[in-house]
Structure 1
């Protein structure tokens, strides 16, 4: 039986560990927190998995919360107009695109804790320890394959920067602030239908409203993604959850009053339901790291492809990476997991991940005119809205029309007739 060590118990590390466990591998998983510590801790960066990523969970029988989590069937996008001198912003664009299938968001405190318990119950070896480079150096020789699914920190720094694949952003591009709330009213534009709603505030950032399942049941995430030092980047000095929520609502009233109108009765779901985070520069790293003693480590998900969270692709990309690596590991059989194989396994994943990286980087800057034209066309032509929404699930489709003005115009013309 092949022995595999996975360091990191997020979406990718746990999904891969559980998938390998089901295939009969001897898996050791290192997590820096127990399941109970995760459940009782602060909310983590929110996640929303779109249909493809959810399918990977379903194929492994890990979709434990399908019946309880809101079924997200659409993506709504608004573009806020300029702020008038007298207040009261309006929307210059508003549309709702339908997904091909449903998306779902589950609080990572619920999912991570649940999967940690499942891994242990199924006989997996769970080690609670914040692993260091020296730990891996001492352990690597005992395993056929070592994988790091850690995102950032000392272990991530083992993986060198890949200048050819990395975005041209050397500094963080967004500061995130999230509050998980009960009591958000229904959206009048699509009553009875759950959708992720995104408001683009030119020159300031974005607002996301995401139906989710949390520790206390159905809830909604209010997430601001602000340009650093801009008008939405006001959460670093908050003194507690109450002030965090108050600032969230103040920004809603000023920049997205149509969303504020349904948020006047909200309250935090629990005392740990706020988070200010996200100050990490997007980067792509080389997929293989060498330990001081010569052992090799394969990077997983955002250990090596760290996209900005502005497009909400983090958890989905992690799920896709875990699925791709699982297939590569199983197909390898009894042959050694050497450096050549490691690089090939990453390249297989990169064929999909590169599209997410390109799209995310495109959304970080000022949107070009042809993209704004696409947004406007979506407001009056449902096929355009649906295609943009479904591109969130599969960003490779954007290659055909999103990045080039001529192709965008040709596409819209074909829809308009």
Structure 2
């Protein structure tokens, strides 16, 4: 029986651990927190998982919360004009329909539940914050060591890939609040949709229906351009203060969202999170002091800003790609060539998410604004952009280059072949 060590109990690490376990591998999972500590701790992220990522969970029968979590049937986009009067400040507003529903489950719920399942199924769970010295020791005991913990000392094992990492610092200041009591959007009062409110030059507000520890809730998530009017969360720790700043920013820049948030309250005492980080792609193979090799997983090696909601989706896709690569490798040695090939299998999809995310972190080009504006009057355009959250590779065909964008819009307006996704 092949022995595998996975360091880190997030979306990718746990999905991969449970997947390998189901195929008879002897899996050890290292986490710096217990399931109960995760369940009762601070929120760890935003997340909205689309069809492909959800299907990877279903394939492993890990979709434990599908019946409970809100079914997100569309992605709405509002384009704000921060210089206009409040009543005129939303010149573009539309809802793109998803081909298959998306869902969001608070990672405190999912990771704690998956950890309990892993242990109950006989997996070895080690509660310990791993250091490089630990991995040096363990690399001699296991056939394969995978690192899916995206913070701390061990991330330094994976060198920054300068060719794939265009940014030298954070591109957004981030603030998250999980809330109860948010009213429905009047445009779709009986349906759940994720909302993207774009405020050019200022930042973005995302509103995501979710399932949290206290049941159904909504995530309010601000991304502010560093140094701009939304860069106000640095050093704010008190959850009430975070929520107050979130609401003040909503009232100022997205009054149509603020109007349904006047009766909200935090879901729990740990329902806020603030921070910032630099989007980075890293070399997937880490070399230990003793000569052993470890393979980086998900955001350890591809850390994108959450502006396009790709984090948990990419993590699920990475776990699925690595699982297939491990199973296909049989009893052969997991050498450096195999590790790089496994990462290449993941990068085939991750590169599209990275390109799209990095594009959206820069000021939008004129043709991108025209695409977004077209979604208000051309439903196929709204639907195609919405479904790009599930498959960012599709953006290659119509999003990045002005000539392709204009040809696509012309085809939609003419009702021809160019309207397709």
TM-score range, shorter chain: over 0.9
Deviation at 1:92, TM superposition (A): 1.4
Deviations, residues 121-140 of structure 1 (Å, cap 9, x unaligned): 00000000000000000111
1:385 and 2:412 aligned: no
Report the equivalent of 1:107. Answer: 106
**TM-score normalised over the length of structure 2:** 0.97
Question: Structure 1 pair 296/384, CA: closer, same or farther in 2 (3 Å)?
Answer: same
Mean Cα deviation higher: 336-345 or 86-95? 86-95
Give the count of matched residue pairs.
414
Deviations, residues 258-283 of structure 1 (Å, cap 9, x unaligned): 00111111011111111112x11111
Secondary structure class of the residue paired with 1:210: strand
Distance in 2 of aligned mates of 1:385 and 1:378: 4
Unaligned runs of 5+ in 1: none
Deviation at 1:239, TM superposition (A): 5.0
Secondary structure class of the residue paired with 1:98: strand
Report the equivalent of 1:136. Answer: 135
Deviation at 1:88, TM superposition (A): 5.2
Question: Structure 1 pair 221/291, CA: closer, same or farther in 2 (3 Å)?
Answer: same
Q: Is the 8 A contact 1:205 1:232 kept in 2?
A: yes
Secondary structure class of the residue paired with 1:12: helix
Q: Is the 8 A contact 1:88 1:254 kept in 2?
A: no
Report the equivalent of 1:357. Answer: 354
Secondary structure class of the residue paired with 2:97: strand
1:314 and 2:308 aligned: no
Deviation at 1:238, TM superposition (A): 2.9
Distance in 2 of aligned mates of 1:372 and 1:320: 29
| RMSD over aligned Cα atoms | 1.0
Report the equivalent of 1:205. Answer: 203
Q: Is the 8 A contact 1:42 1:274 kept in 2?
A: yes
Unaligned runs of 5+ in 2: 415-421
Distance in 1 of aligned mates of 2:395 and 2:262: 37
1:181 and 2:193 aligned: no
Distance in 2 of aligned mates of 1:250 and 1:96: 25
**TM-score normalised over the length of structure 1:** 0.98
Secondary structure class of the residue paired with 1:118: helix
Secondary structure class of the residue paired with 2:251: helix
Secondary structure class of the residue paired with 1:123: coil
Report the equivalent of 1:400. Answer: 397
Distance in 2 of aligned mates of 1:323 and 1:241: 36
1:293 and 2:290 aligned: yes
Secondary structure class of the residue paired with 1:112: helix
Counterparts of 1:175-254 in structure 2 under 5 Å? 175-254=173-252
Which of 305, 326, 340 does residue 302 from structure 2 map onto? 305
Report the equivalent of 2:44. Answer: 44
Deviation at 1:246, TM superposition (A): 1.2
Report the equivalent of 1:155. Answer: 154
Secondary structure class of the residue paired with 1:155: helix
Distance in 2 of aligned mates of 1:334 and 1:191: 54
Deviation at 1:23, TM superposition (A): 0.5
Deviations, residues 363-409 of structure 1 (Å, cap 9, x unaligned): 00000000000001111000000000000100000000100000000
Report the equivalent of 2:13. Answer: 13
1:367 and 2:364 aligned: yes
Deviation at 1:248, TM superposition (A): 0.9
